[in-house]
Amino acid sequence: MLKKAVAGFVSAVVLFLWGFNFPLKAEALSGEDLSAYSAVLYCPDTKEIVFEKNKDDIRSMASTTKIMTSLIALEQNTPYRTVTITEEMVNVEGTSSGLRAEDKIKLIDLVYCMLLESGNDAANACAVAIGGSFEGFAEMMNKRAGEIGMENTNFVTPSGLDDENHYTTCYDMALLTAEALKNEAFKKICSEKTYTVTFEDSDKTVTLYNHNKLLGSYEGCIGVKTGFTKKSGRCLVSAAERNGVTLIAVTLNASDDWNDHEKMLDRGFSLYDTLTFSPDVSGFRVAVTGGQIQSVSTQVRTVTVPYLKDNGEPEISFKAYTERLL
């Protein structure tokens, strides 16, 4: 009960901070400056759309689909369970991570195969192992999409191979990525440049290489996923962190996606500043119900709040919040 009281108080403060109305503001970058058919630059902490070009247009998204497949796999809470690969899993066209029938591999290593090497075989393996079938896993993907608020998305394949009913928008992919980056395992994996998979009951190993070259060329880049099919064109989801600001960039069907993302991210970071908020809560106590003591003292961690500089520094009043709480 004691831990719950303190955790609840801290969570309330954080939610209060993120609850401020930061006006949406798209600035400076023109759609003509990008090669992408559709694009969006999104700040997940403030939920601001910093820039957009056809952000709600329905498009296919190729292997950026694997962001959702990986997130669902990591949310199973059994990342180290062993998956035995079958012919059904590896019978797929396109990019492979070298899986063979009868291989035994940990579920978390399948996520590495998806996010680094973009293995369609690994995506299929996750789908069958978790959903029981491709159709069953697609239902899980669409259910999770609904929970995230992806209103213009429908998943059919776990890998992103083309299907006329497999589609999304740039904005929906930004929302998905914001959700995925909350998962610490996902965030770590998509930022790795290389990783070696060791198979179970075998001396077989496979070294994976991340296809996202922004990880080595763009300051603060933390991922996320590349994609390509003839129908989709070049698709890219990237994220970068600088000075307490996180930005997510998405392009669908972009012939010059690397430069598109650098332009968007550069412009985004130039627009943002941060405010550090560390309220004095000394003397403030939280009542405890059903515990051995009546109340507990509080501690609040320092929080960094990003904001668009042109909008002015946001006003944050802890006093007003505590008055409401009491």
* Domains (range + CATH), the chain: 55-234 (3.40.710.10)
* Of 165 and 306, the one with more pLDDT: 165
Here the tokens at position 166 are 């497999």
Judge whether residue 2 has pLDDT over 90: no
Contact 260, 268 (CB under 8 A): no
The pLDDT value given to residue 217: 97
Judge whether residue 128 has pLDDT over 60: yes
Please compute the mean of the pLDDT values over residues 39-52 and round it to a whole number. Answer: 96
Q: What percent of the chain has pLDDT over 70?
A: 81
**Closest residue by Cα to residue 269 from 230, 231, 309, 238:** 309
Judge whether residue 118 has pLDDT over 50: yes
Please compute the mean of the pLDDT values over residues 125-154 and round it to a whole number. Answer: 98
**Closest residue by Cα to residue 70 from 180, 146, 156, 149:** 180
Here the tokens at position 87 are 């012919």
Q: How do residues 70-106 score in pLDDT, each as one tens digit?
A: 999 999 989 999 999 999 999 999 999 999 999 999 9
The H or E element spanning position 216 is: helix 214-217
Q: How do residues 180-230 score in pLDDT, each as one tens digit?
A: 999 999 999 999 999 999 999 889 999 999 999 999 999 999 999 999 999
The H or E element spanning position 190 is: helix 184-190
At residue 66, the 3 state secondary structure works out as helix
Confidence bin at 291 (pLDDT 50/70/90) = low
The pLDDT value given to residue 263: 97
Confidence bin at 14 (pLDDT 50/70/90) = very low
Which member of 35, 38, 60, 63 is catalytic? Answer: 63
Q: Is 282 a catalytic residue?
A: no
Contact 89, 97 (CB under 8 A): no
Which member of 35, 70, 118, 238 is catalytic? Answer: 118
Which member of 35, 55, 60, 66 is catalytic? Answer: 66
- What is the four-CA torsion angle of 159, 183, 239, 138, rounded to 10 degrees? 20
State residue 14 phi and psi, 5-degree precision: -65, -45
The pLDDT value given to residue 316: 57
In the DSSP assignment, the letter for residue 207 is E
The pLDDT value given to residue 311: 74
* Of 158 and 275, the one with more pLDDT: 158
Confidence bin at 127 (pLDDT 50/70/90) = very high
Confidence bin at 43 (pLDDT 50/70/90) = very high
Please compute the mean of the pLDDT values over residues 121-147 and round it to a whole number. Answer: 98
Contact 56, 132 (CB under 8 A): no
Integer Rg of the chain from CA: 22
Helices 107-115 and 120-131, packing angle to 10 deg: 140
Provide the CA 236 distance to its chain's centre, in angstroms: 13
Which amino acid is residue 146, in one-letter code? G
Confidence bin at 306 (pLDDT 50/70/90) = confident
State residue 324 phi and psi, 5-degree precision: -65, -45
The pLDDT value given to residue 186: 98
The mean predicted confidence, pLDDT, of the chain is 87
The pLDDT value given to residue 274: 87
Q: Is 270 a catalytic residue?
A: no
Q: Is 35 a catalytic residue?
A: no
Helices 134-148 and 120-131, packing angle to 10 deg: 90
Please compute the mean of the pLDDT values over residues 253-268 and round it to a whole number. Answer: 97
Contacts of 79 (CB under 8 A, 6+ apart): 73, 106, 107, 108, 111, 185
Q: How do residues 143-192 score in pLDDT, each as one tens digit?
A: 999 999 999 999 999 999 999 999 999 999 999 999 999 999 999 999 99
Here the tokens at position 305 are 């709040």
Here the tokens at position 116 are 């680094």
Judge whether residue 12 has pLDDT over 70: no
* Of 192 and 4, the one with more pLDDT: 192
Confidence bin at 284 (pLDDT 50/70/90) = low
Please compute the mean of the pLDDT values over residues 7-31 and round it to a whole number. Answer: 46
Per the DSSP assignment, residues forming a β-bridge with 316 are: none
